[in-house]
C-alpha cells in the first residue's frame, strides 16, 4: 500500500510539474516592516523557528523541519495578559498567519503571501500549511525529471476571502496552477479567479480524494475525515508558555 501511495504522489507531482519545468526551492516570504496593528495580541515578537513544541506540531502535520525553518518564523505574543507562541507565516504587508496545535489565527493586516522566484508561472494554494505540504511532497518524492532552477512563484491566499487581492498579481503571470481545497470554497475561489481573466488552471483533481494538500501528504482521505480545515477558524485553547518556576 505504501508503494502504491508513493507511485500515486509521484504521478501527481509529475502531472503538476509538467507545466513547470524548473525544480522548487523553499523561499521565506519577505514582508515589509510591520506597523503596529489594532489586534487582540500585544508585545508581538518574531524569532527564528526553533521551538521543539512547534516543530513537533508541524511534524505531526507531515512537514519537514528544514522546510518549516526556512519558510516560517516563531511568533511570541501576549493575549489577555498571558504569553503564547505559535508558528508564523509572513504575508506581503507585514502581517502573519499564526498556528499551533490549538490555534488558527492571524496578526493583521490580513493579506496574501507572494513568494517570488523570478518566474512567469505561479502556483496558488489556500493556506501556508498547503504551501509547506507541497514543498514537503516535492522534497520527499524527488526525481520527477525537472532540470535545476528556482522553480515557480507562489501565491498563498491565507484565506479564500483574499482572492480579490490575488487577482491583479495573477494577471501578471503567463500561467498559474491552482492547488486549492476540494470543497465548495475552493471551487468558488477558482471560479472567481478564472472569471476575472486570470490565466489559471485547476489541478485539485490530482488529489481529488483528499480535502487539501496536507491531507494528501498525510494520506487522510475525505471519507476518513469528519472535519475540514475550514471548520477550524477558531479553537478553544492556545499554547501557553509554562510559568517560570520560582527559585527558593
Q: Residue 35: inside a domain, yes or no?
A: no
Q: 61 pLDDT band (50/70/90 cuts)?
A: very high
Q: Residue 40: inside a domain, yes or no?
A: no
Neighbouring-strand partners of residue 88:
73, 98
What pLDDT, in 10s, does the model give residues 129-181?
Answer: 999 999 999 998 876 545 456 789 999 999 999 999 999 999 999 999 999 99
Q: Answer whether residue 248 shows pLDDT above 50.
A: no
* 228, 239 contact by CB (below 8 A): no
pLDDT at res. 17:
57
| 3-state class (DSSP) for residue 41 | strand
pLDDT at res. 219:
94
Q: Residue 173: inside a domain, yes or no?
A: yes
In 3D space, the residue among 74, 83, 98, 72 whose CA is nearest the CA of residue 43 turns out to be 83
Question: Hey, what's the cell of 167?
Answer: 487577482
Q: Residue 66: inside a domain, yes or no?
A: no
CATH of the domain at 116: 3.40.1360.10
User: CA–CA separation, 196 vs 131, rounded Å?
Assistant: 24
What pLDDT, in 10s, does the model give residues 66-107?
Answer: 999 999 999 999 988 899 999 999 999 999 999 999 999 999
Q: Residue 140: inside a domain, yes or no?
A: yes
Q: Residue 56: inside a domain, yes or no?
A: no
Model confidence, pTM: 0.78
Expressed as residue numbers, the domain containing 6 is 2-28+112-224
pLDDT at res. 114:
98
Q: Residue 246: inside a domain, yes or no?
A: no
Q: Residue 237: inside a domain, yes or no?
A: no
- In the chain, the number of structural domains is 1
Q: Answer whether residue 32 shows pLDDT above 80.
A: no
Q: Answer whether residue 20 shows pLDDT above 80.
A: no
**Phi, then psi, of 223 in degrees rounded to 5:** -65, -20
Strand residues in 64-190 grouped as ranges (E):
73-79, 82-90, 96-99, 104-107, 113-115, 121-125, 153-156, 175-179
Mean pLDDT over 219-235 rounds to: 52
Amino acid at each position: 500500500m505504501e508503494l502504491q501511495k508513493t507511485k500515486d504522489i509521484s504521478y501527481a507531482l509529475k502531472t503538476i510539474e509538467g507545466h513547470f519545468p524548473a525544480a522548487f526551492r523553499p523561499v521565506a516570504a519577505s514582508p515589509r516592516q510591520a506597523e503596529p496593528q489594532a489586534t487582540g495580541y500585544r508585545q508581538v515578537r518574531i524569532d527564528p523557528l526553533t521551538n521543539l513544541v512547534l516543530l513537533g506540531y508541524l511534524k505531526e502535520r507531515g512537514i519537514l523541519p528544514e522546510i518549516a525553518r526556512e519558510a516560517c518564523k516563531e511568533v511570541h505574543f501576549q493575549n489577555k495578559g498571558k504569553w503564547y507562541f505559535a508558528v508564523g507565516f509572513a504575508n506581503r504587508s507585514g502581517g502573519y498567519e499564526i498556528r499551533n496545535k490549538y490555534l488558527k489565527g492571524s496578526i493583521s493586516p490580513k493579506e496574501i503571501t507572494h513568494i517570488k522566484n523570478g518566474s512567469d508561472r505561479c502556483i496558488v494554494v489556500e493556506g501556508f500549511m498547503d504551501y509547506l505540504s507541497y514543498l514537503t511532497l516535492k522534497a520527499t518524492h524527488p526525481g520527477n525529471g525537472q532540470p535545476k532552477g528556482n522553480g515557480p512563484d507562489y501565491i498563498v491566499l491565507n484565506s479564500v476571502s483574499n482572492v480579490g487581492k490575488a487577482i491583479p498579481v495573477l494577471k501578471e503571470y503567463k500561467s498559474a496552477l491552482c492547488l486549492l481545497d476540494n470543497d465548495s470554497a475552493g471551487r468558488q475561489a477558482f471560479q472567481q479567479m478564472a472569471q476575472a481573466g486570470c490565466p489559471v488552471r485547476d489541478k485539485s483533481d490530482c488529489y481529488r480524494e483528499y480535502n487539501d494538500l496536507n491531507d494528501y501528504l498525510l494520506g487522510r482521505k475525505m471519507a476518513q475525515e469528519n472535519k475540514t480545515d475550514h471548520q477550524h477558524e477558531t479553537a478553544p485553547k492556545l499554547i501557553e508558555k509554562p510559568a517560570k518556576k520560582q527559585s527558593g
